[in-house]
Amino acid sequence: MADIVVIAGEKTVHHVQPLFQRLELEVAKVAQYDLDAILSHNPRLVLCFDDYHILYSNVLAQFRQRNIGILMMFDGILE
């Protein structure tokens, strides 16, 4: 079981490196918005970087239905 699951590819994982260094937190990283892979960690919180694709939004909706918290981090660039 992981307290937090981070959905991040190699280009974005550096933003959350401090989480992996916290000894009291169990943090898992997955590279894709794969519902089953993420749920296998039984997270209390899912941290992600985007929801722009409909498939990503659908996966995030599944977490909301299961009362799993979601923290969305934005890059600060207005597009």
Is position 26 within any domain? yes
pLDDT in tens, 2-39: 899 999 988 888 888 888 887 788 999 999 999 999 99
| 58 occurs within a structural domain | yes
pLDDT at 11: 85
DSSP class of residue 19? H
Q: For position 20, what pLDDT does the model report?
A: 81
- Distance between CA atoms of 4 and 7, rounded to whole angstroms? 10
The reported pTM is: 0.84
pLDDT of residue 29: 93
CA nearest 30: which of 50, 4, 51, 52? 4
Q: Is residue 78 part of a domain?
A: no
Does residue 15 form part of some domain?
Answer: yes
The number of distinct structural domains making up the chain is: 1
- How far is C-alpha 63 from the geometric centre of its chain's CA atoms? 10
- Report yes or no on 79 lying in a domain: no
CATH number where 45 lies: 3.40.50
CB contact at 8 A, 64 and 57: no
How crowded is residue 70: how many other Cβ atoms within 10 Å of its Cβ?
A: 16
Please give the residue range of the domain that contains residue 53. Answer: 4-72
Residue 69 tokens read as 């918290």
